[in-house]
Amino acid sequence: MDLKACPAQILPEAGCVDIWHFHCQSASLAATESLAGTLSEEERVTAGRLRDDTLRSRYIANHATARAILALYAAGLVLARGRNGKPYVAAPDTAKHLRFNMAHSGALCVVAVAAGEEVGVDVERVRHDIALDEIAEMYFTPRELASLRRVPQENRADAFFACWTRKEALLKAQGTGFLRAPDTVHVGLEASDLLCSGWTATGFDFSPGYAGAVALEGTQISLRLREFRLSS
């Protein structure tokens, strides 16, 4: 399978994040399986443990495409994982300033790329068939929960996932993920509500029915939304 994208991009400037998005549902199973050779040994082992063909195909496509996206910024990258599992560029030395993070929901995958500033990203399909209030009670701060309860019922799912994705993006950027209790991190329902010194988080929207957010180390953030196309 050929991976097709726009020409190589210059690195994001300080305070800027490239947000790449792609769908892998159009690629055939055989085509995505052929990409397995581009994965690391750890990734191939993980893919092999997935017995569901669709899940395995998406895993391979997501991780192989993330590598292809990063190759637009630097060649010969070696990726590794930190203490809590966050991936980072381990080599070459000339590319160690690259920061990236990946998230997926169903067939949609996003990859965030920054230069020199830690970054985290999350994307979720907005669902109306789950117990949002009960989940919020477990993972939201008291202020977030109170704000959510004031949102009209018809808008509550959008508000919930806006808060959830920014919270998860921030925890991923900080390298802890949900190892840190989410209800101890206040991001609020609006970007201006973030109470975390030295960090910025904002939402983005490029696919109907999904909520996305990115968090960046620093006090400013701007986004460049980009699409990466997988050929079938």
Using CB atoms within 10 A of its CB, is residue 96 exposed (0-12), middle (13-18) or buried (19+)?
Answer: middle
Label the pairing between strands 16-23 and 222-227.
parallel
Average of per-residue pLDDT across 27-54: 77
Instruction: State pLDDT tens for residues 133-183.
Output: 999 999 999 999 999 999 999 999 999 999 999 999 999 999 998 889 999
**Token duo for residue 117:** 């500033």
Q: Which domains does the chain have, with CATH numbers?
A: 12-230 (3.90.470.20)
Q: What is the value of pTM for the model shown?
A: 0.89
Q: Nearest-CA neighbor of 95 among 118, 112, 79, 83?
A: 79
CA 17 to chain CA centroid, Å, is 12
pLDDT tens for residues 83-104?
888 889 999 999 999 999 999 9
Nearest to 15 by CA among 198, 205, 227: 198
